Amino acid sequence: MTPQATPPTGKTALLVMAHPDDAELSSAGTVLNLIEQSYQVRYVVCSTGDKGTKDTAMTPFQLAAIREQEQKEAAAVLGVHQITFLRHPDGELDQSRSLRDEIALLIRNHRPEIIITHDPWRPYQIHPDHRAVGFATADAVVFARDHLFLPVLLELELAPHAPLELYFTFPQVADHVVDISAVMEKKLEAIAKHKSQLQYMPAWRENIKLMGSKLAEGKPFTYAEAFKRLVLTYQ
């Protein structure tokens, strides 16, 4: 019998992000809203973030451990249900088949309705990890969906899975604006756990609020997060 892409049955959202802190900075309010709507929210963090410091005494190994702990604490503030750390070196992700295949495997395993990732098509997106993860995740959606891709996954009894929606963070043009006014303080509380990153940004609270209010311009609410949303339809 030919396996078919199965429609999702549970309500799961999977965030596939390059670094510890990307999920909270881009999407913490949306995560809180999804959990409020009874979604299981799970993270995939692709790199250790082990280059994100200006402290010349810090080693990459120390920083990776610090940032993984910060990510766990930030996710716990939001009530995120699970985190998978892929632990690739920071800055060295590329559009590899192996990253795409790792993400495809995790999509089949977690079977999300919604996937949230970086927008790799945003003009002047200079961070290579953000581009790499965005492209790898978009490609992985196809590899997770169609059974003839990655036949080894069938051997592992990971049946094809077709997500319904793909959200890209910080897009050039947003078409899905989420009201996070009621949860802005909780978003700030989660971001505050990323102490190793915030020490260089004393005005981070004001900047996060300013960004949230800009994204809500023209809307009947105070703060927003905004995405490019692809609705994936299947026959």
Contact residues toward Zn ion (CB under 5 A) are 18-19, 22
Kindly tell me which of 100 and 131 has the beta carbon lying closer to Zn ion. 131
Residue whose C-beta lies closest to Zn ion:
19
Minimum distance, C-beta of residue 8 to Zn ion, in the bound complex (Å): 27
What is the arrangement of strands in the sheet containing 12-17, beginning at the earlier edge strand? 82-88, 40-47, 12-17, 114-118, 165-169, 224-231, 176-179
Largest CA distance in the chain: 59
Give whole-number Cα distances, 213 to 77, 84, 116, 188, 226, in Å.
Answer: 22, 31, 21, 14, 11
Cβ pair 75, 46 in contact under 8 A: no
Minimum distance, C-beta of residue 22 to Zn ion, in the bound complex (Å): 4
Cβ pair 71, 19 in contact under 8 A: no
Kindly tell me which of 201 and 232 has the beta carbon lying closer to Zn ion. 201
DSSP string, 208-226: HHHHHHHHTTTSSSS-EEE
Distance between first and last Cα of the chain: 19
Minimum distance, C-beta of residue 52 to Zn ion, in the bound complex (Å): 8
Kindly tell me which of 44 and 162 has the beta carbon lying closer to Zn ion. 44
Give the β-pairing of 12-17 and 40-47. Answer: parallel
Minimum distance, C-beta of residue 113 to Zn ion, in the bound complex (Å): 24
Query: What φ, ψ does residue 223 adopt, rounded to 5°?
Result: -125, 145
Look up residue 150 and give its two tokens: 């990655």
Minimum distance, C-beta of residue 181 to Zn ion, in the bound complex (Å): 25
Residue 186 one-letter amino acid: K
Minimum distance, C-beta of residue 45 to Zn ion, in the bound complex (Å): 10
Kindly tell me which of 22 and 113 has the beta carbon lying closer to Zn ion. 22
Kindly tell me which of 27 and 40 has the beta carbon lying closer to Zn ion. 27
Minimum distance, C-beta of residue 228 to Zn ion, in the bound complex (Å): 17
With tokens 């299981």, the residue in question is 40
